[in-house]
Amino acid sequence: MSTDKLDDVSPRDVIRHLMDSNNLRQKDMVDVFGTESIVSEILSGKRNLTVKHIKRLSAKFHVSPAVFF
């Protein structure tokens, strides 16, 4: 895969992919984001990720924080 394709991937896309790959639903992400409404807002693009979210996502999925930038 070329890096151009990776540049087109948003943090939201990465989260969705990780959720799909792990058979997780929005309610399964409350430990990362605090509430289901925040999960929804993040996935819909109404809210941006915070540093705390990125740290928690990185730990939950065992990936580098860089994938969310």
Q: In CATH, what number is assigned to the domain containing residue 33?
A: 1.10.260
Residue 3, pLDDT score: 47
Residue 1, pLDDT score: 43
Q: What is the DSSP letter of 10?
A: -
How are the residues of the chain apportioned to helix, strand and coil, as percentages rounded to the nearest 5?
70, 0, 30
- Arithmetic mean of pLDDT, 37-48: 97
Q: What is the number of structural domains in the chain?
A: 1
Residue 8, pLDDT score: 82
Q: What is the pTM of this model?
A: 0.87
Residue 5 lies in a domain: no
Residue 69 lies in a domain: no
Residue 2 lies in a domain: no
The alpha carbon of residue 40 and the mean position of all alpha carbons in its chain are separated, in whole angstroms, by 11
Residue 6 lies in a domain: no
Domain containing residue 50: 11-63
Residue 6 has pLDDT above 80, yes or no: no
